[in-house]
């Protein structure tokens, strides 16, 4: 049986080096995520607001919040998206140092998992979108968003995680001189 949570050897973990690698990749990760959403815009005018804006509403910030940076206005929902991308990648890099099999398919499996977790479980759990487990699940579930929205979210998360995983693996091997962790 394929055990995703089989631990790496303690002798091959270097958390100090991994910390700085995680900071670097986590800083780049929101750019990757935002870049894919520019090419593959997932939320058309015919669907509900994008999840970052729904989360802002959930937290009580219903008026559009804007932050001006260098003369450019940026919506607070976008800044929330950047922050969440940073946090997810930071946690991912620490987890794969301990459990290397979580890098399954070069991060693609994690991208699929995150799409399901974030858009089909977390956002509905906050009441920002119809629940998968509601009484009218077959009428209101997130998969009833248009197919382009769901496909684009999947492409966005898969590409994002794949690029971040390739950067992580490359930096670990080439820049840090650390081998891929062996399973203990």
Domain boundaries, the chain: 10-37+47-172
Q: What is the pLDDT of residues 127-178, one digit of tens each?
A: 666 555 555 554 555 556 667 777 888 888 999 999 999 999 888 888 777 7
Predicted pLDDT of residue 13: 77
Convert the pLDDT of each residue in 69-111 to its tens digit: 677 666 776 777 778 888 899 899 989 988 888 888 999 999 9
For 13, 31, 72, 160, 167, the CA distances from 176, given in Å and listed in that order, are 12, 23, 37, 22, 12
pTM of the model: 0.77
145: closest CA among 179, 115, 105? 115
């Amino acid at each position: 049986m394929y055990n995703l949570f089989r631990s790496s050897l303690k002798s091959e973990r270097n958390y100090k080096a991994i910390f700085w690698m995680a900071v670097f990749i986590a800083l780049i990760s929101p750019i990757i995520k935002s870049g894919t959403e520019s090419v593959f815009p997932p939320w058309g005018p015919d669907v509900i607001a994008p999840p970052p804006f729904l989360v802002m509403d959930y937290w009580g910030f219903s008026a559009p919040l804007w932050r001006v940076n260098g003369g450019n206005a940026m919506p607070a929902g976008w800044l929330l998206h950047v922050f969440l991308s940073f946090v997810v990648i930071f946690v991912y890099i620490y987890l794969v140092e301990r459990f290397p099999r979580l890098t399954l398919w070069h991060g693609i499996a994690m991208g699929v998992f995150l799409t399901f977790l974030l858009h089909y479980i977390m956002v509905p759990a906050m009441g920002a979108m119809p629940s998968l487990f509601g009484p009218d699940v077959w009428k209101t579930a997130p998969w009833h968003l248009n197919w382009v929205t769901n496909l684009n979210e999947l492409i966005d998360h898969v590409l994002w995680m794949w690029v971040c995983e390739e950067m992580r693996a490359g930096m670990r091997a080439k820049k840090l001189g650390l081998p891929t962790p062996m399973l203990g």
